[in-house]
Chains A and B, each alone.
Chain A
Amino acid sequence: MKSIWFFVGLTLSIMGVLVVIAGILDYVSPPVRQTTLGSIHPAVWWGVLMVAAGTLFLLTEKRRK
């Protein structure tokens, strides 16, 4: 049986990738209504952080096996 950490990794990776995609789309084509601090593109770096954390959980699960 796969451990919970595998599913945590999967969730963070999938959602992280989606958030990064949204961030890149906003970067390429800025929205009409910019959010406060939108200029620092939080979706891009936060999404990357989520993917990194998710990958770490997936690797931990792989090593555990």
Chain B
Amino acid sequence: MQALSLGVVDWLVIASYFLIVLGLGFYLKRYTTNEEDFFLAGRKNSAWVAGLAFLSANLGALELLGMTGNTFKYGMYVAHFYWIGAIPAMLFLGIYMMPFYYSSRIKSIPGYLKLRFDEKTRVLNGFAFGVMTLLVSGINLYAMALVLRTFVGWDWNVSIWISAITVALYVGMSGLMSAIFTEIIQFFLIWFGLFLVSILGIIEIGSVKEILHRVPESFSTLWSTSGDASQNGMMITWAGIVLGLGFVLSFGYWTTDFLVVQRAFSAKNLRSARMTPVLASFFKMALPFIVILAGLIALVLSRDPGSGFALVQEGGQVNYDSALPLLIARYYPSGLIGLGVTALLAGFMAGQAGNISAFNTVWTYDIYKSVINKTASDAHLLWMGRVATVVGVVISIGTAYWAKSFPSIMDYMQAIFSWVNAPLFATMLLGMFVRWITPNGAFWGLLAGMGSSFFLFLAVKFQWISNSALTLSTSASDMAANFWRAWWAWLICFALTIVISLFTEKKPESELVGLVKWLTPAVDESHVPYMRRPQTWAIISVVVLVALNIYFW
């Protein structure tokens, strides 16, 4: 496609974004005086601030482009990622898991593993998380440069270095606080920069009803075609959606991935921390009105020969990620194009800042202080956090160039989450809710879960086993294979952890108070008005979720 042409005002919009985020970094530096300020934003954020950051940390531009493209490819089924594939897990985190995380005053998820189990489980998870975070950060950087080169015509090296240096500067100056501030700005930029695409698409086509009417039935429903995998665009049954996406992948990501959970740790008190994912759930449910709607609009236009709309073809392959940029090119005049590009840039950079701020915390506390320098002072840890930020960005740049010379690494990105997060969720679930799970059971179960997920990925990739054997279905897409692989990894970790725990030494119960449900007093909120309780809002969130699923059944 021809690159989007940017006018003077478009460049001014983009430049103003860079000036604002760098200015923010400088401004917040004077309020970042100790390690708690740097790694946990001083633990003084309201539920609204932490909640929007919690959601935005997951709302990268790669996801926006990818999910819009996936909707074009798979139809409405992609909405499962935003509804059943997110909301139950977010509410479970807020209502049941957050009291253990927040009250134990840990600084990271591996920190919980140290308290509940032992040092080796913490280091195993810290190391796996660090590698995953830097890989994802580098691949994001690569994807950003690819998108900007394809759609805006920018030079590869310039895109990578300018955005990486900007992120290193503002995260290095003020840590998690500046990452959170830019994530919230990104949230508003994405809504103001991209929602207009859906509005203009609806105006052009006529109505949302007309859009749904013009796509095949298997693309416009959520559940009614899930009884038979061959009858829906994603080629998956309801069991795969519920077990793989709705349970393992979703709970694995939203309840254990430190990148998002770190935002809740920055809340000012336990009630705000619990409200963080509950509030975020409402905004998460609204996102399909950008991505799914835009994907369906692109599909309707491409099926209408008179519209002149067609996705980019590269080497005979359809580039589904081109759907959103092509809609921007179709509808946005000068000024708005700059806003749309800024929204994507903000999504990429905030995503990278989120990864780097989570990495610097895990590196500093769970690897450096835990293994290398156990007596490090607070001032030294603050210094180490800044060094880890710069080193993390440099490694991300290296990963981006590696990805450039080895493009199929993009295929591995979806799989990375099921290697690390899916088994970790089994470890966390058992650790928090079963008192007799032992440190050795957790360690070996986690290691086996991660190893089995990696093995299954290779086994399908090199055709040692078929996708059908993995998915228990005669027809299955790569997406379905991801869901099922996560399920098997979770199950292996869950079962092995239990079996090994039956034969190994338990921790004394006195060391588990505040970490395990049955040994911890319940949170007393009887003095809090109903409308300020996380449970009340969680119930409202569930009602909205059920209503959306029934409406689009």
Q: Are B181 and A7 in contact (CB under 8 A)?
A: yes
In this complex, which of A8, A19, A43 has the most chain B Cβ atoms within 10 angstroms of its Cβ? A19
The answer to whether A31 and B334 touch across the interface, beta carbons within 8 angstroms, is: yes
| Residues in A neighbouring B17, C-beta threshold 8 A | 11, 15
User: B310 to chain A: closest CB distance in Å?
Assistant: 14
Bound CA span A14–B200, Å: 23
Contact across chains for B332 and A15 when beta carbons are under 8 A apart: no
- Beta-carbon contact of B192 and A18 below 8 Å: no
Total number of A-B contacts with CB less than 8 angstroms?
96
Query: Do A19 and B188 contact each other (CB < 8 Å), given the known contacts A4-B49, A14-B16, A35-B330?
Result: no
Q: Are B333 and A31 in contact (CB under 8 A)?
A: yes
Smallest Cβ-Cβ distance to A14: which chain B residue: B16
Contact of A7 among B20, B203, B336 (CB under 8 A): B20
Judged by a CB distance under 8 angstroms, whether B7 is at the interface is yes
Contact status B16-A4, CB under 8 Å: no
Q: How far is the CB of A57 from chain B (nearest CB, A)?
A: 9
Interface status of A22 (Cβ within 8 A of chain B):
yes
Q: Given A7-B181, A19-B13, does the pair A35, B331 have CB atoms closer than 8 Å?
A: yes
Please tell me if the beta carbons of A1 and B31 are within 8 angstroms of each other in the complex. yes
The residues in B between 1 and 15 inclusive whose CB is less than 8 angstroms from any CB of A are 7, 9-10, 12-13
Q: Is the CB of B7 within 8 A of A22?
A: yes
A38 shortest CB reach to chain B, Å: 6
Contact assessment for A40 and B9 in the assembled complex, using a CB-CB cutoff below 8 Å:
no
B339 touches A19 (CB 8 A): yes
Q: For chain A residues 1-44, which have a beta carbon within 8 Å of chain B?
A: 1-2, 4, 7-8, 10-12, 14-15, 18-23, 25-26, 31, 35-38, 40, 42-43
Contact: A15 with B16, CB < 8 Å? yes
Other-chain contact of A38, B16, B188, B333, B342 (Cβ < 8 Å): B333
A39 to chain B, nearest CB (A): 11
**Does A18 lie within 8 Å of B335, measured CB to CB?**
yes
Question: Is B215 positioned at the interface, with any CB of A under 8 Å from its CB?
Answer: no
Bound state CA distance, A11 and B190, in angstroms?
12
Least Cβ–Cβ distance between A59 and chain B, in angstroms: 16
When the two chains form the complex, which single residue of A1, A4, A19, A37 contacts B203, counting CB atoms closer than 8 Å? Answer: A37
CB distance from A51 to the nearest CB of B (A): 11
Are A50 and B335 in contact, CB atoms less than 8 angstroms apart?
no
| Contact partners of B155 in chain A: CB under 8 A | none
Q: How far is the CB of B190 from chain A (nearest CB, A)?
A: 12
Alpha-carbon distance A40/B199, docked complex (angstroms): 12
CB neighbours of A46 from chain B (8 A): 192, 196, 336
CB distance from B160 to the nearest CB of A (A): 24
A4-B334 contact, Cβ under 8 Å, with A11-B20, A11-B189: no
Mark A residues whose CB is within 8 Å of B: 1-2, 4, 7-8, 10-12, 14-15, 18-23, 25-26, 31, 35-38, 40, 42-43, 46-47, 49-50, 53
A-B pairs with lowest CB-CB distance, top 8? A22-B335, A22-B9, A19-B335, A43-B335, A22-B334, A35-B333, A43-B336, A36-B330
Known A-B contacts: A4-B180, A10-B20, A37-B331. Give 11 more (CB < 8 A): A4-B184, A7-B181, A7-B185, A11-B188, A18-B13, A18-B16, A18-B335, A26-B335, A43-B333, A46-B196, A49-B192
Q: Could you list some 11 contacts between A and B, CB below 8 A?
A: A11-B16, A12-B192, A20-B335, A23-B335, A35-B331, A36-B204, A42-B196, A43-B335, A43-B336, A46-B192, A46-B196
